[in-house]
Amino acid sequence: MNAAGISPEQRLFVGVIVNAAQEAAGVSRVGSGHRTIRQSARAWFSNGGDDFRTVCELAGFEPGEVRTRVLAYLNRVEHDPDALIKVKRTNMPPRHHRVSIPDVARAAGVSATTASKVIHDRPNVSPATRARVLAAIEATGYSRHVH
């Protein structure tokens, strides 16, 4: 789903989900209640209560899919803190940042080596993984830089 193609209301609820996921993952916050906030945010996804389902539906997402994906992300971050994705919120237009192979890999949930194999049309990548990487290439706007 393209951010430009959703309503301001949907964007607001997507922001609620992203913010909760970052808090559950332990993105730094100012204040002494950080641990409590992290536990509460994680429980929001784990329990999947009425408010969680309502926010997901208002964002235009299927709650079960959001829950599965966010909990998988939280498990990844727990075992590999470098997997933490920090989202910068701003009303400023994005700077022109060239999307890199590691960016594509993060979006697809694979290693940079695997993403590179797909980009360079190398063998030994399962069709399902290849499809995920190709979807991430499309979603991130990656374009191959030719020297």
pLDDT in tens, 58-109: 988 999 999 999 999 888 888 887 777 765 555 545 555 688 899 899 888 9
The answer to whether residues 75 and 129 belong to one domain is: no
d(CA 26, CA 36): 10
Cβ–Cβ under 8 Å, residues 41 and 24: yes
- How far is CA 60 from its chain centroid? 16
d(CA 23, CA 19): 6
The answer to whether residues 67 and 109 belong to one domain is: no
The answer to whether residues 79 and 125 belong to one domain is: no
The answer to whether residues 9 and 54 belong to one domain is: yes
Residue 116: the pLDDT is 94
- Is 111 inside a domain boundary? yes
Residue 111: the pLDDT is 94
- Is 63 inside a domain boundary? yes
The answer to whether residues 79 and 121 belong to one domain is: no
- Is 88 inside a domain boundary? no
The answer to whether residues 72 and 107 belong to one domain is: no
- Is 96 inside a domain boundary? no
Could you tell me the CA-to-CA distances from 67 to 40, 41, 53 in Å, in that order? 15, 12, 9
- Is 92 inside a domain boundary? no
Cβ–Cβ under 8 Å, residues 129 and 114: yes
- Which range marks the domain in which residue 79 is found? 3-83
The answer to whether residues 78 and 51 belong to one domain is: yes
The answer to whether residues 11 and 72 belong to one domain is: yes
The answer to whether residues 107 and 134 belong to one domain is: yes
List own/partner pairs for 112-119 with CB under 8 A and 24 or more apart.
Answer: 119/144
d(CA 94, CA 47): 35
The answer to whether residues 115 and 68 belong to one domain is: no
How many domains are contained in the chain? 2
pLDDT digits (tens, 9 = 90+) for 1-59: 444 567 888 888 888 888 888 888 877 555 555 667 888 889 999 998 999 999 999 98
- Is 21 inside a domain boundary? yes
Start-end of H helices in the chain? 8-25, 34-47, 50-59, 63-79, 101-108, 112-119, 127-140
d(CA 13, CA 41): 15
The answer to whether residues 50 and 10 belong to one domain is: yes
- Is 94 inside a domain boundary? no
- Is 117 inside a domain boundary? yes
